[in-house]
Amino acid sequence: MDHAETTPHRYTSPKVVFLILFIATIVEVGATLAGVPRKLLVPALLSISFVKAALVALYFMHLRYEKLIYGVIFITPAAFAILLMVILATR
């Protein structure tokens, strides 16, 4: 029997995920309007955007409840791309 079939899933309400996404968006807009220096703003916004994209993929596209490899396949290249953008933005 597969491990995924025997382990019950913890359920996370879509409302909780939506609230986290909403708060993250408010933080992004607030940081932009507050005039945070560009050298700090770009990596922060990229990081927040990555977390938001991961939450959408994991919960609304149901990757959270699939095999771990599917999440890894999504997260690894996205994290690498964010890392490259942060390095380029801070030069």
Distance set, CA 82 to CA 25, 26, 35, 57, 79 (Å)? 18, 21, 22, 16, 5
14-73, pLDDT tens digit by residue? 899 899 999 999 999 999 999 999 888 888 888 898 889 888 888 887 777 778 888 788
Domain assignment of residue 57, yes or no:
yes
**Structural domain of residue 68, as residue ranges?**
12-89
The number of distinct structural domains making up the chain is 1
The predicted pLDDT at position 8 comes to: 64
Do 61 and 75 touch, CB atoms closer than 8 A?
no
Domain assignment of residue 55, yes or no:
yes
The predicted pLDDT at position 22 comes to: 97
